Amino acid sequence: MKKFIYIILAGFTLSCTDLDLRPEFGETGNIAFQDVKNLERYMAKIYAAYSLTGQQGPAGDADLALVNDEGFTSYIRAYWKAQELTTDEAVIAWQDAGIQDLNTHTWSSDNQFVKVLYYRLFLIISYSNDFLEQSTSDLLSDYGYDDQEMALAQNYRNEVRFLRAMAYWHALDLFRNIPLVTIITTDFPVQDSPEEVFDFIAEELEAIESELPDPQQNQYGRVDKAAVWMLQAKLYLNAEVYTGNDYYSEAVAALEKVLNGPYSIEDDYQLNFRADNHTSNELIFTLPSDGIQTQSYGSTTFLTNGSIGGNMTSSDYGTSGAWAGLRTTRNLVELFPDETGDIDSRAIFFTDGQTLDIADLTVFTEGYAVPKYTNLTTEGEQGSNTEFSDADYPLFRLADAYLMYAEAVLRGGGGSEATALGYINELRERAYGDASGNITASNLTLDFILNERARELYWEGHRRADLIRFGLYTGGEYTWPWKGNNIDGASISDHLEIFPIPATDLAANPELDQNDGY
């Protein structure tokens, strides 16, 4: 059985419905945190806020009362939709209010899925700010912490600073013009510049890097140095989008630390998405899932069950759910040499009874299904629960580090093109089963990297940011079915690179300005 931090949540209740206020505890802070175990439980709540939806799994005591379906409020589910449904990699058949707007780029500041994304992020930030205020050295000394407890508390603080930095990175990427708030306050927050938010994230990661455990030396599912290096690489690789300045050499430096670590590419690509993917040495940082301990309708339960419908049999994927929602477009399929996976094994498509083209987004059988995530183990055994997945969500994995390194090198960040070529061919040899898919130095171009990122990383929450970084998300140079609410794809405005500030937040805070174009 895998062990991870979320299990420590037992016995600790915390909720927050107003982002200007402190979270509410079962006990007042100065009583609750006299016990270091409660500090650990609070940290566990912040980790869990990325995947779970409330105090009672799978539903029943939600953190946020924004929508009728609590499952919609899973952060990683909302994040995945924002990064994938808005691109050529995924569409969804459901007709809940506002969800088709993501497929067609017609969302507004009233869209419920945009609201969930925004408020979830700032809930995580609010929890983190409060944790850091409640765990200062002076307060813990007053609580009577001994040296060992003080050291533990400092470790927890470093992890929470990472979780807050990651939330701010997502907020910067998705909304760009956001308030940078590091304390709990009733004052109206004002927006900071993207450059200021970028600098804050970079400084926080630099400050905690040396204080965190070495790679693979923390409890499973918790932050270590390698998670910091991956987040630094993500931040720096996209810095030109966020700030207008390039940080490719900094991205290479961070990635070289990852690449010199203890990780390795697994022989079996699909191990990274199975119920036993916690055994993969390729995964660097995950959001753990467990069908018994962490039940929710988000994360990989959504990705597994949401991808099953039509002629598919749920039990073939270790689940009883068939939510008939998620498929892909022909653009992704055509990046592979064939759709069967016989040549490139990463092509995981279900085609029986499915059409390649999508005339109606709301019909599950239009568009190939993508059963990339499964609740079966490598041995073919079902996960611990037939309804909720055991597969952990792969936030950071080594294959992504390989691809980011190659891209940063090609963009002038230093490093070695020969080394980059070796990394790419290692991925392709796994995919092809031999060297028949290997490329030469002349093939290693930025266009190739973008396509290879799709082949390797599709449905892992990277595509929107990738297309934006390559200048192909907006405009009409690159289109895909239903881009711009057109069956064949159409040009879309540049303002759609980021999402609007929710209308409800603008109404509540007169200091905020809406993002341009909304």
Q: Which pLDDT belongs to residue 5?
A: 58
Q: What is the mean pLDDT of residues 314-342?
A: 98
Cα dihedral sign, 453-459-461-465: positive
Q: Residue 7: pLDDT band by 50, 70, 90 thresholds? A: low
Q: Residue 250: pLDDT band by 50, 70, 90 thresholds? A: very high
Q: Which pLDDT belongs to residue 28?
A: 53
Question: At 175, which helix (H) or strand (E)?
Answer: helix 147-175
Considering the chain, what is the average pLDDT of its residues?
94
Task: Report residue 217 as tokens.
Answer: 């030396």
For the cut 70, the answer to whether the pLDDT of residue 301 exceeds it is yes
Q: What is the mean pLDDT of residues 2-28?
A: 50
Q: Please list the residue range(s) of the chain that carry CATH number 1.25.40.390.
A: 5-211+499-508
Percent of the chain with pLDDT over 70: 94
Q: Which pLDDT belongs to residue 59?
A: 84
For the cut 60, the answer to whether the pLDDT of residue 242 exceeds it is yes
The pLDDT tens digits for 399-456 are 999 999 999 999 999 999 999 999 999 999 999 999 999 999 999 999 999 999 999 9
Q: Which pLDDT belongs to residue 8?
A: 53
Q: Give the C-alpha separation, 63 to 52, whole Å.
A: 9
Q: Give the C-alpha separation, 361 to 106, whole Å.
A: 14
Q: Give the C-alpha separation, 333 to 360, whole Å.
A: 18
DSSP state of 54: B
Q: What are phi and psi of 421, to 5 degrees?
A: -60, -40
The amino acid that residue 400 corresponds to is D
CATH (residue range 5-211+499-508): 1.25.40.390
What is the pTM for the complete model shown?
Answer: 0.96
Q: Please list the residue range(s) of the chain that carry CATH number 1.25.40.10.
A: 220-269+278-286+394-473
The pLDDT tens digits for 61-71 are 888 888 888 88
Decide if 338 contacts 347 (C-beta within 8 A): yes
Percent of the chain with pLDDT over 90: 88
The pLDDT tens digits for 388-415 are 999 999 999 999 999 999 999 999 999 9
Q: What is the mean pLDDT of residues 208-231?
A: 98
For the cut 60, the answer to whether the pLDDT of residue 208 exceeds it is yes
CATH topology of domain 220-269+278-286+394-473: 1.25.40
- Long-range contacts, stretch 421-430, CB < 8 angstroms, 24+ apart: 423/259, 424/449, 424/452, 426/265, 426/402, 427/265, 427/399, 427/402, 427/403, 427/452, 427/456, 428/452, 430/265, 430/266, 430/267, 430/269, 430/345
Q: Which pLDDT belongs to residue 85?
A: 98
Q: What are phi and psi of 51, to 5 degrees?
A: -120, -45
Q: Which pLDDT belongs to residue 51?
A: 93
